[in-house]
Chains A and B, each alone.
Chain A
Amino acid sequence: MALSKDLVAASATPLILSILTRGESYGYAIIKEVHALSGGQMQWTDGMLYPVLHRLEKQKLIASEARKADNGRMRKYYRIKDQGSKALQEHKQQWTAVYTTLKQVWEANPCFS
C-alpha cells in the first residue's frame, strides 16, 4: 500500500518537525528515518524533501547550519526552533482530531472495517 500524494504532502511537515524534535538531523538521514519508521510505506521522492525543509526554515520553524560531516562532505544540519515546537503541537492536535473522528466512525459501524 502506497500513501496518496496528498496525504504524503500533508504529513510531511509534522513528520519532519517530529523527527527534528529528537535532535538535529540532515536531509538524507531524515529520508532514511521516515522510510524506516513507516516500514517502507512512505516513499518520498528524495529531492522533494529539500524544498519542504527550506520552506520550514523560511517560516522560522527550523534553523539550519552547514557543517563538514565526518566523511569530509559539507552537510546542512537542521534543528527545530521554539516556534517549530509550537507548530508541531498544533499539527498533533489536528491529526489526533482526524484520527479519533475516523476511529469513532469505524468502530461504530463494524461493517466498514
Chain B
Amino acid sequence: MFQLDNAIENWRNSLLDNQNVQDTDVDELESHLRDEIDSLMLSGLNEEEAFMISSHRMGDQQDVGQEFAKVNPSLAWRRRAFWMFFGILISMLVSSIASICSQGSAALLTWLNVSVYKSGVASILIHIGVFVVLLFAVVFGVGLFAKSMKSKLSMSMALVFCMIAIFMLKVSSFAINVLQVKILHPEAVGQLYLASRYSIFAWNILWPIIVVTMMFILWRSKPQRVR
C-alpha cells in the first residue's frame, strides 16, 4: 500500500544525503512537491501516480544538489569541519568519562584498604573497559543521530551539550582529587599518586593501539546506510 507521507519522507532523506543541501532548502522543495501533487490529484491521478510524476519533474536529486552546491560552495566543508570538531569533543568527553571512572575506582579501592598496586591495575582495566564500550556506543549512536543532526539548531545543541558535559566532568575530576587528598591517609595518597602515574603511563601507550584496533574492526564491518 502506497503511503504518501512515507514516500515524501524518503524523498526528503535522499535529498538530504547530499551534503550541499540544507534542511530549509528541502522544506521549500517539499512544499513545491506537495503543491504539485495536490494539483495532479485534482486532475484525477491517485496519490502514487501524482507522487511519481511530481518527484520526476523535480529533477534528478544529484543534479539539483550540484546546483545548490554552486550557490553555497562552503556548506559541505562547513559540515565536514563540524563533524571534525564534534569528533574531537566526543573523544574528549569519552576519555574524561573513562578517566574519571578509573580515578574514582582507584580512590575508592584504596579507601577500602585494597593494596595500592591491585587498585592501580583495577583502575587501568576500568579505564580501558569504559573507553572501549563508550567508543563503540558513540560510533553506533552517532549513526542513529546523524539523520537528525542536519539542522543548525540540533548541531549547535549537540556541541553545547558536549561542552557542558566535559566541563562538569572536569569539575568532578577536580573534586575527586581534592577529596582523596583530604580523606585518605597521607601515605596512601602518595602511593595512589605513584600508582596513577603508572596507570597514566600505561594508558598513554595503550590508547592509540586501542583506537587503531577499533578502526580496523569498524573498517571491516559492513557499512550500514543510515535511513
- Given known contacts A48-B59, A51-B64, A27 and B28 CB-to-CB distance under 8 angstroms: yes
Cβ contact of B28, chosen from A31, A45, A48, A50, cutoff 8 A: A50
Judge whether A46 and B36 touch: CB under 8 Å. Answer: yes
A52 to B64, CA, bound (A): 11
Q: Inside 8 A of A51's CB, which chain B residues have their CB?
A: 64, 67-68, 70-71
Instruction: Kindly state the interface size class of chain A when it binds its partner.
Output: 20 to 34
A27 to B26, CA, bound (A): 13
Judge whether A47 and B59 touch: CB under 8 Å. Answer: yes
> Is the CB of A108 closer than 8 A to any CB of chain B?
no
With CB as the reference atom, state the residue of chain B lying closest to A59: B71
A52 to B54, CA, bound (A): 20
With CB as the reference atom, state the residue of chain A lying closest to B38: A71
Q: Inside 8 A of A58's CB, which chain B residues have their CB?
A: 71
Binary CB contact string for chain B from 20 to 56 against chain A (1 if under 8 A, 0 otherwise):
0000010111011011101000000000000000100
> Is the CB of B72 closer than 8 A to any CB of chain A?
yes
Judge whether A50 and B36 touch: CB under 8 Å. Answer: no
CB distance from A55 to the nearest CB of B (A): 5
Judge whether A27 and B57 touch: CB under 8 Å. Answer: no
Cβ contact of A47, chosen from B58, B70, B71, cutoff 8 A: B58
Chain A contact residues: over half helix, strand or loop, or mixed?
helix
Cβ contact of A48, chosen from B34, B38, B63, cutoff 8 A: B63
Judge whether A55 and B71 touch: CB under 8 Å. Answer: yes
Binary CB contact string for chain B from 62 to 97 against chain A (1 if under 8 A, 0 otherwise):
011001101110000000000000000000000000
- Given known contacts A46-B32, A46-B36, A54 and B59 CB-to-CB distance under 8 angstroms: no
Judge whether B35 and A28 touch: CB under 8 Å. Answer: yes
A51 to B15, CA, bound (A): 14
> Is the CB of A103 closer than 8 A to any CB of chain B?
no
Q: Inside 8 A of A86's CB, which chain B residues have their CB?
A: none
> Is the CB of A98 closer than 8 A to any CB of chain B?
no
A71 to B34, CA, bound (A): 11
With CB as the reference atom, state the residue of chain A lying closest to B35: A28
CB distance from B135 to the nearest CB of A (A): 39
Q: Which of A6-58 contact B (CB under 8 A)?
A: 26-28, 31, 45-48, 50-52, 54-55, 58
Cβ contact of A28, chosen from B27, B32, B68, B72, cutoff 8 A: B32
A55 to B61, CA, bound (A): 18
- Counting from the closest, the 7 A-B pairs by CB-CB distance are A45-B59, A51-B67, A47-B64, A47-B59, A47-B58, A28-B35, A55-B71
Q: Which residues of B come within 8 Å of A, CB atoms?
A: 25, 27-29, 31-32, 34-36, 38, 54, 57-59, 61, 63-64, 67-68, 70-72
